[in-house]
């Protein structure tokens, strides 16, 4: 069966990775997570990957003197697989150069705000402190500019008077956990459908 091959990059907890892996498994989707890569030694996402029996690699950025060399090492790993998509799920590094050009339009990121509002770190806190009444989560394409690539999908979260930063962060994360898997599923469907169409012509 034709599979949609993906890699997941993350730096921390890995709850979005778990949500994605569980979604793929439960729905028995033709999506294969080939590898999980982290730039942080001992990041929980690596352990979570092994719990799913998924190949994982730690490539710590602090072992390299510059970003290019670190990314080259990541590229070496990624190019072993015939990848259709790279998912950044809590990957706390800016991606550039050869990495970006090799996988242009194939790298997506999940961000905890309704972009273009509240780019960068602590987006939930930025929204909470600004006092907006609606924020949310965004899945977008990764480009040179931080949190600025084309938006693929978004979902909103209302900020109620009773919310604290903690409850808001939790509500956004819950939304992320359904938004990201649905986007990946849709991208896989589109790609696999295209293959079928090509075969029929």
**Judged by CB under 6 A, does residue 90 bind ligand GRF?**
yes
Tokens of 26: 């439960």
Binding of ligand GRF by 111 (CB under 6 A): yes
From 15, 38, 39, 135, residue interacting with ligand GRF (rule: CB under 6 A): 15
Considering only CA atoms, give the Rg of the chain: 17
The answer to whether residue 136 forms part of the interface with ligand GRF (CB under 6 A) is: no
CB-nearer residue toward ligand GRF: 48 or 70: 48
Q: What separation, in Å, do the N-terminal and C-terminal C-alpha atoms of the chain show?
A: 19
| Residue 185 found at the interface with ligand GRF (CB under 6 A) | no
**Residue ranges of E strands in the chain:** 4-10, 31-38, 56-58, 85-88, 107-111, 134-141, 151-158
Quick one: which of 193, 174, 184 has its CA closest to 152? Answer: 184
Residues 111, 158, 170, 177: which is the catalytic one? 111
* 89 binds ligand GRF per the rule CB under 6 A: yes
User: Considering only 54-62, 68-76, 104-112, 152-160, which stretch makes contact with ligand GRF by CB under 6 A?
Assistant: 104-112
Cα distance between residue 83 and residue 55, in whole Å = 14
| Phi, psi at 149, each rounded to 5° | -75, 170
Selected from 71, 84, 147, 176, the binder of ligand GRF by CB under 6 A is 176
Annotated active-site residue 70? The verdict is no
Minimum distance of ligand GRF from residue 48's CB (angstroms):
9
Cβ(61)–Cβ(39) below 8 Å: yes
Sole window of 30-38, 59-67, 108-116, 158-166 interacting with ligand GRF (rule: CB under 6 A): 108-116
Binding site for ligand GRF (CB under 6 A): 10, 12-16, 89-90, 110-112, 173, 176
């Amino acid at each position: 069966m034709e599979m949609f091959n993906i890699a997941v990059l993350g730096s921390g907890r890995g709850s979005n990775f778990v949500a994605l892996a569980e979604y793929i498994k439960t729905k028995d989707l033709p999506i294969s997570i080939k590898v999980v890569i982290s730039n942080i030694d001992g990041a929980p996402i690596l352990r979570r990957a092994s719990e799913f029996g998924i190949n994982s690699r730690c490539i710590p950025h602090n072992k390299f003197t510059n970003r290019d060399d670190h990314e080259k090492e990541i590229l070496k790993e990624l190019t072993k697989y015939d990848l259709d998509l790279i998912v950044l799920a809590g990957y706390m590094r800016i991606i550039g150069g050869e990495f970006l050009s090799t996988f242009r339009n194939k790298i997506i990121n999940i961000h905890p705000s309704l972009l273009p509002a509240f780019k960068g770190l602590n987006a939930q806190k930025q929204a909470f402190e600004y006092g907006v009444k609606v924020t949310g989560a965004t899945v977008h394409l990764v480009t040179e500019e931080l949190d600025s690539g084309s938006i693929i999908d978004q979902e909103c979260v209302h900020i109620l008077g009773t919310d604290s930063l903690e409850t808001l962060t939790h509500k956004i994360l819950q939304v992320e956990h359904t938004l990201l898997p649905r986007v990946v599923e849709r991208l896989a469907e589109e790609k696999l459908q295209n293959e079928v169409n090509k075969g029929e012509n």
